[in-house]
């Protein structure tokens, strides 16, 4: 078993915070073990909790669609994870102590996967990783840095589902990711838009 698999085992049995009491399955995340791109969401919702997989509900379907247009797949290019690995009851926001207890798992995932680009999906991921006071509407689309890794904050897919008008700016953000991926990883990367 490699280190990432061992970490998954630990998360699957974790009882470090109260979310362990109400979860059906912990959601470690999934994707390529040494992905160049990592997507970070907030936490599992109903379907993720049921299936033990990240982003499989409505937001997940939209995320997959966006990744597909960019020419990225979960198997080859991306690893998808969340700030908290267990579903908060009724999809409430994860509490500060839950985020703080869980975030070392994300740090360890980043250390093992070594992505060149981290896409932060929404305000929780942005605030947790970059700055508790940061505003997604203000910093989205700008390259930031976290521990020598490039970070692109953008809207959470659920925000895009609630507000169609955010789709265009979000698309601009993902185009920047594709351009950066071509620059850093594969000049010949094929996407489905250009």
Among 102, 120, 159, 166, binds ligand SF4 (CB under 6 A): 102
Residue with Cβ nearer ligand URA (70 or 80): 80
Smallest distance from ligand SF4 to CB 178, Å: 31
Phi, psi for 118 (deg, rounded to 5): -115, 120
Nearest CA to 66 out of 130, 159, 187, 149 is that of: 159
Of 17-25, 118-126, 147-155, 178-186: span binding ligand SF4 (CB under 6 A): 17-25
Q: By CB under 6 A, is residue 41 in contact with ligand URA?
A: yes
Strand order in the sheet with 144-146: 30-31, 78-82, 37-41, 117-121, 149-154, 144-146
Q: Which does 153 bind (CB under 5 to 8 A by kind): ligand URA, ligand SF4, none?
A: none
Contact 108, 102 (CB under 8 A): no
Using CB under 6 A as the criterion, which residues of the chain lie in contact with ligand URA when the complex forms?
41-45, 48, 54-55, 57, 59-60, 82
């Amino acid at each position: 078993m490699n280190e990432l698999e061992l970490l998954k085992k630990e998360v699957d049995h974790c009882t470090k915070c109260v979310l362990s009491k109400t979860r059906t399955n912990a959601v470690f995340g999934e994707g390529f073990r040494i992905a160049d791109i990592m997507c970070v969401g907030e936490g599992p919702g109903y379907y993720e909790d049921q299936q033990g997989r990240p982003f499989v509900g409505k937001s997940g379907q939209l995320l997959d669609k966006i990744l597909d247009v960019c020419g990225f797949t979960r198997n080859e290019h991306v690893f998808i994870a969340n700030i908290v690995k267990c579903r908060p009851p009724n999809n409430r926001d994860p509490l500060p102590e839950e985020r703080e207890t869980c975030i070392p798992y994300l740090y360890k995932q980043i250390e093992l996967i070594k992505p060149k680009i981290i896409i932060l999906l929404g305000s929780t991921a942005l605030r947790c990783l970059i700055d508790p006071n940061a505003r997604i509407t203000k910093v989205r689309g700008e390259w930031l840095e976290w521990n020598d890794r490039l970070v692109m904050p953008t809207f959470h897919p659920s925000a895009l589902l609630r507000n169609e008008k955010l789709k265009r700016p979000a698309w601009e953000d993902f185009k920047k990711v594709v351009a950066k991926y071509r620059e850093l990883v594969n000049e010949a990367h094929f996407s489905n838009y250009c």
